């Protein structure tokens, strides 16, 4: 069975267009800077206490 080379070329171009991303939609981030919303639900100290409590609930042997 012989496959037409133009058919392979068309199929490859259709498949590769699905992987295309618009370069203008790219978001560049600066290292070490968080630009998201601030978390008003828990302060740093409250979060540390919550994480420590959760750790002790699961890791009882440590």
Model's pTM, two decimal places? 0.31
Alpha carbons 9 and 6: distance in angstroms, whole number: 5
| Chain segment 6-61, per-residue pLDDT in tens | 999 998 888 888 777 777 777 778 888 877 777 677 677 888 888 889 888 887 76
Q: Following DSSP, what letter does each residue of the chain receive, concatenated?
A: -PPPHHHHHHHHHHHHHTT---GGG-----TT---S----S--HHHHHHHHHHHHHHH-TT-
> Domain limits of the chain?
5-60
Whole-number pLDDT of residue 26: 74
């Amino acid at each position: 069975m012989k496959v037409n080379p133009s058919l392979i070329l068309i199929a490859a171009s259709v498949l590769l267009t699905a992987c295309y991303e618009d370069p203008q939609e790219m978001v560049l981030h600066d290292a070490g800077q968080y630009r998201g919303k601030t978390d008003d639900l828990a302060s740093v100290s409250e979060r540390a206490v919550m994480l420590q409590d959760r750790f002790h609930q699961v890791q009882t042997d440590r």
